[in-house]
Structure 1
Amino acid sequence: MLGRAFCRQFVRRPNQLSRNLNAVRFQSSKRLISNGNRFSSFASITGSFTLGSIIGFFLIQEWDSHYSKTQRFPLGSTTPLDQLNPPQYGSSQDLEKCVQEIGKAIGETKVVSTAAAISHHTENGFNIGKPLPDQRPRSVIYVESTEDVSRVMKLATEYRIPVVPFSGGTCLEGSTYSTRECIIINTSKMNQILQVFPDDLDALVQAGVGWQQLNEYLTQQPGLENLMLGCDCGPGAHICGMVNTNASGIGATRYGSMGANIISVKAVLPDGTIIKTKRRPRKSSAGYNLTGLLVGSEGTLAIVTEVTVKLQVRQPFETVAVVQFPTLSDSVQAVSDLFKKGFQFNAIEMLDAKTMECVNKSNQISRTYENVPTLFFKIAGLNKTVVNEYIKELKHIVKLNHCTKVETARSNEEATELFAARKNVLYMMLDYGFNEVHEEAKMWITDFAVPISTMASTLEKVGQLLDTKPLHYMVLGHVGDGNFHCDIFYRPDQYQLVKDVVHQMNKITLDHEGTCSGEHGVGLSKRDFLQEELGKDTIDFMRRLKVSIDPLRILNPDKMIKIDPKDPVDEYLKGI
């Protein structure tokens, strides 16, 4: 009994235990401390033994064994994958108990386990894979407050249950889909615009507010009609997801990605702790940039619950210009020349020749264009006179770059019509795939980004690669910030072919000083690309951050970086 009490005392007090071990002498130079505490063998201990030193040795073994079941935390600044044990999650029975406790804690009506709810959270039609049967979530928790999220995470920690954050469900790289038996925390009901500060040009919103919802709200409020969120990514996207993937969109040319449009974040850590990354001033040198740490983290470090966003002021006058070029190189050079002149556009969008062919075949626009690379400009200013001066200079520069056609809107209605070819192109592409490729055709939507100076050569190399394959594809992009999308149509039996092609496209992008994702995020499908881009040591550093904040590895496991040496994602990514 005395021995057990003694053990319990020291297991609870590992620091004191470490001090007691100083009495133990080692003659071997191979004292194994790679995980901070483990010794190589009992035979390496020599010298005079006391009862305390012997007990101490076995205590460190017991404590280390207990500790390694949760998380090894090696000495050093990085955590290589091979220094981790597989995470130990709760059983199916533990998950069931956890869900029951969650219902008691935040309300039974917030817990949904129907087949329809589970199906909604496992596929949106645009990701390249979906959870296998044993990876599907078991329950969806519709939280309504930061406190709800905190209570759920405390219980998930207690029962060791993986948790996947979800809100708008518009992800394209598997960021919000489960790889483990888990629960989903859905923040879509946290959709309140809490406060707008017009004099400071910012607003406090809950995580589940959509960017379109916020902009519509502002246009309906007297005195706020000219305010908006500058980041305008895919329809249906919510603020929390936009933070988690550092989303962009058409407006990023002028206003930047989501990371440039937020001031602070309130979030819940994996153990249920609530933090706020900073206060409301736009300028601060106080402490670590925790806001920046959470931007692009894809829900692997914390669950975003509130965001203070910057608001932009709409320019009083805006119009649209459509410019066509004989080559991609001419179009990209024109953009570079315009930037060097100091132009700021609300948008510069590019559709390649194949995409313009799709637009012309859609019968969704009243005009017919040449099937050549085409730029769509949004040009804004204080008044019509200022904008007309911009247009005059734009026409001069694009003509120097061999443009074949320039068309400008003469009214707001015509501006809307001209830009519709770009705004609605996704739906035109989907129709094209079903009608022109195959009735079961799927579309692999991917994005990359490069410096503008290398964009033309990148796209030429990508085109040369794809032209050698039996695949239909289209390229479009936010050329103003070097971000392009290559959307590839494929039949179910061509999945592996497309997967290999996208990998080769990533290599081309990296050869041109680019990145594997400009705005979609990494999720599950680009984890290998991220390591190719940043290198093993950087990924190991990211893993160190992950396991230090989330030692149980319960929050959105397997996304962006591997956290399990027995990683389950390879089976997941074999296709639908």
Structure 2
Amino acid sequence: MAQTAETKHGNNPGIGILQQMFGDRASTSAAVRDQHGHGEGWFPGAPPDLVIFTQTTEEVSEIAKVCSEHKIPMIPFGAGTSLEGHLAALEGGVSIDVSQMNAVLEVNNEDLDCRVQAGVTRKQLNEYLRDTGLFFPIDPGADASLGGMASTRASGTNAVRYGTMRENVLGLTVVMADGRIIKTGGRARKSAAGYDLTRIFVGAEGTLGIITEVQLRLYGIPESVTSAVCQYPDLESAVNTVILTIQSGIPVARIELLDEVQMGACIDYSKLEGFERKVTLFFEFHGSEASTAEQAGQVQALSDEFGGSAFRWTSQAEERTKLWEARHNAFYAACAAAPGKKGMATDACVPISKLADCILDTKRDIEDSGIYAPIVGHVGDGNYHLCLMFDPNDADELKRAKGMVERLNQRAIAYGGTCTGEHGIGYGKKHFLTAEHGDAVAVMRQLKQAFDPDNLMNPGKILSA
């Protein structure tokens, strides 16, 4: 096998065995290895020794058996969209790419559930479901794989109404570190039978086992979908509108916040017309035509109390698509607004009653730092994001950006929140876990030891050694 300076297990006989087993679907190409050693985050990548493109659960099991015998680390890879260094092969090993495991295995229309292989993406699933009258609502923005979304406990713009992956995964097929194949959960909507292993693997980021199949909840496509946009004189007015909307029990499907910096970037990048460079909320309402109109009217009345203007709502699919594409392209809009710089994306989540204080503190921190850092967030559930644009060749700017991320996460924890609402821990946020969970981190280590005694499953992620 051709080796490079980055190869850590090139002389391990297990690598040769796996190459023989998988032939053309096992690659040691430097370009392929590099692609599989990082996600979309800013963290430095680390290439694996070998990349294998799997097609079945049984193949993943065979890989795990060889890796277990020869003590080779395993890193699952889906669509490569993670943000916190989840995919870096910090100790070398085998990247198990499940993107070819992309079959929708069954759809149970009457029970509103389906089973998919881990490499199916959310857009692929909804395209498959298009003629059934059903859809899968979890929407993290990126067209992520559903196995990866389960592994990172993803959520996104619809979480305020439909929840996160935690609430929408009914069961899993998982390959353990020693190659055993287990099934957790099932199609029943509730169960009191034994430990809830499904919830242990959802959010484990591939550190306890490799997810190969996912059983998911589905929902009926709403009769009416209405979007609305409203702009505000300041950040506090917009956030207070969000808080009162949630506390009033209005069943919104989405509430997205863009501060004036992010809105300006989106206007330029996505060619949004008729809007000002002001703090903005995007809303979406699902239900009957009467109910969505009523919800929009209720939110407009609340918005008026806080000086909201330009409240515009539409049920036209083309207009709605344009608005949400602009929101999903917020990261690229921020990058376009700061050419030559790199984006450091991070998130935090707090109880809804603390949202205004936390975001305003963050806004002041941004202004004091002098860093271009738009704010955007799924604020209906208290989750918001920063995209800090920094010059990778400017050590001082990088230091200031890292300092802001540190303060953002510590601030969220101090407000009773979490260091990540949906990005996950990876290796980028490991040091916040103790501050957030205290002695529970020791219990997490015990679970890791029980499930993966040789520390072969995505080592270096979530827990420090």
TM norm structure 2: 0.94
Name the residue aligned to 1:169. Answer: 80
1:528 & 1:126 partners in 2: Cα distance?
A: 17
* Identity within the alignment, %: 34
The DSSP-based 3-state class of the residue aligned with 2:369 is coil
1:212 & 1:452 partners in 2: Cα distance?
A: 30
Q: Does 1:263 align with 2:170?
A: yes
Name the residue aligned to 1:393. Answer: 298
- C-alpha deviation, 1:102, in angstroms: 2.0
2:148 & 2:63 partners in 1: Cα distance?
A: 19
2:338, 2:389 within 8 Å by CA — same for their partners in 1?
yes
1:515 & 1:552 partners in 2: Cα distance?
A: 29
Determine which of 443, 455, 462 is the counterpart of 1:553: 455
Name the residue aligned to 2:280. Answer: 374
Matches within 5 A, 1:123-138: 123-131=38-46, 136-138=47-49
Determine which of 99, 108, 114 is the counterpart of 2:23: 108
2:36 & 2:463 partners in 1: Cα distance?
A: 21
1:365, 1:417 within 8 Å by CA — same for their partners in 2?
no
2:407 & 2:319 partners in 1: Cα distance?
A: 41
2:38, 2:87 within 8 Å by CA — same for their partners in 1?
no
- C-alpha deviation, 1:196, in angstroms: 0.5
Cα 1:142–1:337 change in 2 (3 A) is same
Q: Deviations over 1:389-429 (max 9, x none)?
A: 22222221111222133111263333333444323322222
Q: Deviations over 1:208-227 (max 9, x none)?
A: 110110001111x4xx1x21
1:465 & 1:173 partners in 2: Cα distance?
A: 22
Name the residue aligned to 1:343. Answer: 250
2:373, 2:388 within 8 Å by CA — same for their partners in 1?
yes
1:387 & 1:92 partners in 2: Cα distance?
A: 57
One-letter amino acid matched to 1:111: A
Which deviates the most, 481-490 or 416-425? Answer: 416-425
Name the residue aligned to 1:144. Answer: 55
The DSSP-based 3-state class of the residue aligned with 2:172 is strand
- C-alpha deviation, 1:124, in angstroms: 4.1
Matches within 5 A, 1:466-505: 466-492=366-392, 493=394, 494-505=397-408
Name the residue aligned to 1:86. Answer: none
Cα 1:406–1:147 change in 2 (3 A) is same
Determine which of 293, 296, 299 is the counterpart of 2:203: 296
The DSSP-based 3-state class of the residue aligned with 2:343 is strand
- C-alpha deviation, 1:91, in angstroms: 7.4
One-letter amino acid matched to 1:421: A
1:93 & 1:349 partners in 2: Cα distance?
A: 47
2:29 & 2:223 partners in 1: Cα distance?
A: 49
The DSSP-based 3-state class of the residue aligned with 2:283 is strand
1:424 & 1:251 partners in 2: Cα distance?
A: 16
Cα 1:469–1:366 change in 2 (3 A) is closer
TM norm structure 1: 0.77
Matches within 5 A, 1:298-447: 298-362=205-269, 364-383=270-289, 385-409=290-314, 411-434=316-339, 439=340, 441-447=341-347
Q: Does 1:119 align with 2:26?
A: no
1:126, 1:172 within 8 Å by CA — same for their partners in 2?
yes
Name the residue aligned to 1:62. Answer: none
Matches within 5 A, 1:63-74: none
1:366 & 1:465 partners in 2: Cα distance?
A: 28
2:55, 2:101 within 8 Å by CA — same for their partners in 1?
yes
Name the residue aligned to 1:92. Answer: 9
- C-alpha deviation, 1:202, in angstroms: 0.4
Structure 1 segments, 4+ long, off by >3 Å, are 90-94, 417-421
Cα 1:419–1:114 change in 2 (3 A) is closer
- C-alpha deviation, 1:319, in angstroms: 1.4
Structure 2, unaligned runs of 5 or more: 1-6
Cα 1:419–1:148 change in 2 (3 A) is closer
The DSSP-based 3-state class of the residue aligned with 1:234 is coil
One-letter amino acid matched to 2:375: V
One-letter amino acid matched to 1:297: A
Q: Deviations over 1:283-337 (max 9, x none)?
A: 1100000000001100000000111011111111111110112222222222222
Name the residue aligned to 1:56. Answer: none
Q: Deviations over 1:401-458 (max 9, x none)?
A: 2213311126333333344432332222221121xxxx2x001000000111111110
Q: Does 1:527 align with 2:434?
A: no
- C-alpha deviation, 1:499, in angstroms: 1.3
2:10 & 2:100 partners in 1: Cα distance?
A: 28
The DSSP-based 3-state class of the residue aligned with 2:421 is coil
- C-alpha deviation, 1:185, in angstroms: 0.9
